[in-house]
Homo-oligomer: A and B are copies of this chain.
Amino acid sequence: MVKLGIDLMGGDQAPSAVMEGLERVWHHLKPETSISLYGTIEALALVPYSPRIEKIVCSDYIAMDEHPVKALQQKKDSTLVRAFADAAGQKISAVASAGHSGAIMVASMQILGLIDGISRPVVLSVFPKIDDKPLVVLDVGINVDCKAEQFLEFARIGSTYAEKVLGIPHPKVSLLNSGTEKSKGSLLYQKAHSLLAEYAAIHFEGNLEPRDLFDNEIDVLVCDGFTGNIVLKEVEAFFSLSQKLGLEHSFLEQLNYENHGGSPILGVKGNVILAHGASGPEAIKNMILSAESIALANFVSQLSSI
């Protein structure tokens, strides 16, 4: 039985997209799952009564253009600060928001805290493959200036996620790189390759070239947060292109971020799902489902125990 903390005020289309997403999600959730909904009194007034929703009235929220650290310090009664505090206090099993990504990141670190042995949080994304298996990719956004040692954390976190949340036994890990040879790529990637090759805690399969992104035998792909974000956004370019060209195929739908449940922020002592700022109702629905999955998998304790 899990209780999910949802930020009613998060995202460019909030609160309406969040309300609509909530309506769509109910019959996909487990019957015993309930929701804590963090919003202003005006926004919460628009949400119909449900015995499965606890409305948490907050006086404020953090807007998309605010300075994350300052906003978190000053807006103690904002939806994000309240939700993260409840997650830290074990009142809810996960926080999910399409709000200010910087603020969510800082709140994850400051309010929840890092898991022992993890130096920085990391954002993970699940890419579709042509064999219908998922590819876990991380970091896709936070650690834009990485040390090679962080790739080991990414590999460990990604492997645990693949195994415990996606149910993939003995996940295979690759390093994203410009070629398959170990001497390929920047100095950072050459060093990361050496470290990964010697890291007994994971199953390292060498480099993966981006040309094989959708067709490979790998379960977890690690990269720095800058490159990962570029790769993720290029997938968005393909989806957008395919729409403009009028191409149709069920696989292409999987490239649409609306059909993904946002991205988990991992390495912190709590379950956090960050959705795209532009999320519409469908993306919000999937964000809530992701929050339920990661909460049910009890990911934090899985990661803490290895």
Interface residues of A (CB under 8 A from B): 130, 141, 144-145, 176, 178, 185-187, 189, 209-215, 224, 226-227, 229-231, 233-238, 240-242, 244-247, 249, 251-252
Known pairs A215-B244, A241-B130; A230 contacts B227 (CB<8 A) = yes
Q: How far is A246 from B214 in the complex, measured between Cα atoms in Å?
A: 15
Q: How far is A141 from B247 in the complex, measured between Cα atoms in Å?
A: 31
Neighbouring B residues of A249 by C-beta, 8 Å:
245-247
A interface, over-half SS: helix
Known pairs A145-B186, A247-B247; A212 contacts B230 (CB<8 A) = no
CB of A301, distance to nearest CB on chain B (Å): 32
Neighbouring B residues of A242 by C-beta, 8 Å:
247
Is the Cβ of B245 less than 8 Å from the Cβ of A233? no
Known pairs A145-B187, A178-B226; A234 contacts B247 (CB<8 A) = no
CB of A169, distance to nearest CB on chain B (Å): 26
Is the Cβ of B226 less than 8 Å from the Cβ of A186? yes
Which of A189, A231, A246: most chain B CB closer than 10 A?
A231
Is the Cβ of A237 less than 8 Å from the Cβ of B212? yes
Determine how many copies of this chain the complex contains: 2
Known pairs A209-B233, A230-B176, A233-B178; A185 contacts B241 (CB<8 A) = no
Q: How far is A245 from B214 in the complex, measured between Cα atoms in Å?
A: 11
Is the Cβ of B144 less than 8 Å from the Cβ of A186? yes
Q: How far is A247 from B220 in the complex, measured between Cα atoms in Å?
A: 27
Q: How far is A235 from B230 in the complex, measured between Cα atoms in Å?
A: 12
Q: How far is A112 from B214 in the complex, measured between Cα atoms in Å?
A: 40
Is the Cβ of A234 less than 8 Å from the Cβ of B231? yes
Neighbouring B residues of A210 by C-beta, 8 Å:
230-231, 233-234, 236-237
CB of A290, distance to nearest CB on chain B (Å): 21
CB of A102, distance to nearest CB on chain B (Å): 10
Is the Cβ of B237 less than 8 Å from the Cβ of A178? no
User: What residue in chain B is nearest A226 (Cβ atoms)?
Assistant: B186
Neighbouring B residues of A209 by C-beta, 8 Å:
233
Select A215's contact among B141, B214, B241, beta carbons within 8 Å.
B241
User: What residue in chain B is nearest A213 (Cβ atoms)?
Assistant: B237
8 pairs of residues in contact across A and B, judged by CB atoms under 8 Å: A145-B186, A178-B229, A210-B236, A211-B237, A213-B234, A214-B240, A242-B247, A245-B251
Select A241's contact among B176, B186, B214, B227, beta carbons within 8 Å.
B214
